[in-house]
Structure formats: structure tokens, C-alpha cells
Amino acid sequence: MCGISAALSLVVSLFFLKYWQHTRERLFAAFAAAFAVLSVHWVTLGLADPHSDTQYYSLLLRLLAFVLMILGILDKNRQARQRR
């Protein structure tokens, strides 16, 4: 399941990267980076020992991905307010 999640996260990342190339919208770049980090998260989770004490490092990757998404949304909202 981790492999499937990693592959699909990478596909979604490439999808957002394609739209970023067309529009140069920073929101798409942030989401592309976030899903690439999530892909790395799933790979490390799949390769890690389930009984290891260092599994929380993988969760830090997930946290980074969600922070990137939030920053992208906040940046988009800030841009919209400045245009008005």
C-alpha cells in the first residue's frame, strides 16, 4: 500500500507541476512540492522497520508537506487581497 500511495502522490505532484508550468501560479508549485514530499514520506514509511523508534522522522516529512500546502493557500489568499 505504501508503494501505491508513493506512486500516486508522485503522479499528483507531476499534475500540479504541469499546471504550474502553464500558469506560473505559486499555489500549484507549493502543492507540487507538497505531494513530492508526501511521495518521499510513503517511500520511507514503506522501507522503514515498523518496530523502529525513528519512525517519527517520516511523520516530520508529512508535517512538512502539510505546512507547504498551508503556506501555498495563505500566499494565494494574500495575493487575492492585494489585487483588490
DSSP 5-50: HHHHHHHHHHHHHHHHHHH--HHHHHHHHHHHHHHHHHHHHHHS-T
pTM of this prediction?
0.89
Q: What is the pLDDT of residue 15?
A: 97
Total number of domains constituting the chain = 1
- Which domain covers residue 50, as residue numbers? 2-83
Distances (CA, A) of 9 to 14, 15, 26, 78, 84: 9, 10, 19, 27, 35
pLDDT at 30: 98
Which pLDDT value is given to residue 58? 83
Confidence bin at 55 (pLDDT 50/70/90) = confident
More confident residue, 2 or 37: 37
